Structure 1
Amino acid sequence: MIARKTTRVRDQASGSGEPVAPQHVRADLARIASWIEPGSRVLDLGCADGALLAYLHKTKQVTGVGVELDDKQVIAAVRRGVCVIQQNLEDGLALFDDQQFDTVVLSRTLQSMHNTEHILREMARVARYGIVSFPNFGYWPHGWSILRGRMPVTGEMPFQWFDTPNIHLCTLSDFEDLALALQLRITHLATFNGKKEVKLLPGWRSTLAVYRFESPRLSEEA
């Protein structure tokens, strides 16, 4: 394997220990939860129905805030007892102060953002750590579909080319290059194919990548 400019870091045991994934929590969300410290302040961007924040509040007593645009999802999150701000993420995170949170999460949303660099910079501004997950365009069946002259349609990318919300697809290496350019230090990586975590050849075999990175502001403070 050719060495990358950014060292790919597999998931490590954090201070919160190994994740416990009850049936009602997706495997990737359980992994995200394992990287978040108990009692910390969490911002969940594109929080959907608030499942992650509700889980974190119950299991780790975090103070959480979600941002969501869809009316039905906002209502569902509120019913779970989650504090939600209804806002379009494309408008930025100006309502939040610098380093207001310990961790900010952007789950399965990065690929649909118009200004990818801006949202990552904003995540690094408002929190000490950021967690992002996105479909892995490097998954090998995607390449096979393209060789056959078709855009890929898979579980993580179920849309047709004409109705997909996914406008910025990338591979693991693509994201790592961008993180390096933005001075985001990657601390953890977990990759999944459905409910199973992928350890071997993740760039080819995984459908979903989850990264944890450190804000450059932490290095400046050190």
Structure 2
Amino acid sequence: MNLRPDLAIIAANVRPGARVLDVGCGDGDLLAVLRDERQCDARGMEIDSASVANCVARGLSVIQGDADSDLAIYPDQSFDYAILSQTLQTTHRPDQVLEHLLRIGGKAFVSFPNFAHWRVRLSLLWNGRMPVTRLLPVAWYETPNIHHVTVADFRDLVAARGITVEESWYLSGDKLCSPAAAAFRAEHAVFLISRR
């Protein structure tokens, strides 16, 4: 299966056979790869009922739920990994969601669009408007994004919370790019975090 680049990074770095919760699992493509290719006990939570129905029809273990309110139902350390891909910026309290992820899982993968990417900055500078790009394809009033997080913002948040960044990956387009100047060059970021 051809995964979105951030999901491919996550799938390649999840330990085979692990227990995984994918929060905001969407269409379930990552869950299917983790189950079928990595032999993981992969489960999902998704807010959209049509996406949940599609996942269940594919034989995936997915429940309907909201990351902002429903993560509290999971017991401490019930998973090896919790995953939040392209969802952090849509939550009401990203800080609390991160705390739940690390309470539920030993480690967490978090990916998000970097709103400090040079194209975003240029659009704001020259047009005075929030950009519409391949990765941010809708106008500001249609987007589910309610927080415009940057690589630097995320690093500051996890540092303030005493969270360890174990690894990070940066994507420009669909390709990995160097961490040098990632805050400016990366369109997406993927972090593996823990409480060591």
Fold equivalence (TM over 0.5): yes
Q: Does residue 189 of structure 2 align to residue 209 of structure 1?
A: yes
Matched positions, count: 194
Q: Given the two structures, how large is their TM-score scaled by the length of structure 2?
A: 0.94
Residue of structure 1 equivalent to 2:82: 104
Give the counterpart letter for 2:65 in structure 1. Q
CA distance in 2, matches of 1:63, 1:123: 17
In 2, Cα distance between equivalents of 1:44 and 1:118: 17
Task: Pick the aligned partner of 2:154 from 156, 165, 175.
Answer: 175
- Cα distance in 2 for partners of 1:191, 1:101 equals 25
What SS is found at the alignment partner of 2:92? coil
Which aligned segments of 4 or more residues in structure 1 are displaced greater than 3 angstroms? none
**Alpha-carbon distance in structure 1 between the residues aligned to 2:28 and 2:140:** 29
Give the RMSD, CA atoms, in angstroms. 1.3
Distance 2:34 2:190 in 1: 17
Which has the larger displacement, 192-201 or 109-118? Answer: 192-201
Shift of 1:104: 0.2
- Measured against aligned partners, the alpha-carbon deviations of 1:128-166 in whole angstroms (never above 9, x if no partner) come to 000011000110011111112111222221221222211
Q: One-letter code of the match for 1:177?
A: D
How many angstroms apart in 2 are the aligned matches of 1:143 and 1:192? 17
Seen in structure 2, the aligned counterparts of structure 1 residues 171 and 49 have a Cα distance that, compared at 3 Å, is same
Tell me, which stretches of 5 or more residues in structure 2 are unaligned? none
- Measure the CA separation in 1 of the matches of 2:26 and 2:9: 18
Residues in 2 aligned to 1:117 and 1:136: alpha-carbon distance in whole angstroms: 17
Residue of structure 1 aligned with 2:8, choices 1, 25, 30: 30
Please tell me the residue identity of whatever aligns with 2:183: G
Q: Tell me how far apart the structure 2 counterparts of residues 82 and 33 of structure 1 sit (CA, whole Å).
A: 16
1:55 aligns to what? 33
Quote the Cα distance in structure 2 between the aligned partners of 1:27 and 1:117: 25
Identity over aligned residues, as a percent? Answer: 40
Give the 5 Å matches for 1:41-120: 41-120=19-98
Query: Counting helix residues as a fraction of each chain, which structure ranks higher?
Result: 2
Instruction: Read off the aligned partner of 1:88 and give its amino acid letter.
Output: D
Asked if 2 retains the 8 angstrom alpha-carbon contact of 1:92 and 1:119, the reply is: no
Match for 1:175: what amino acid?
A: F
**Structure 2 counterpart SS, 1:166:** coil
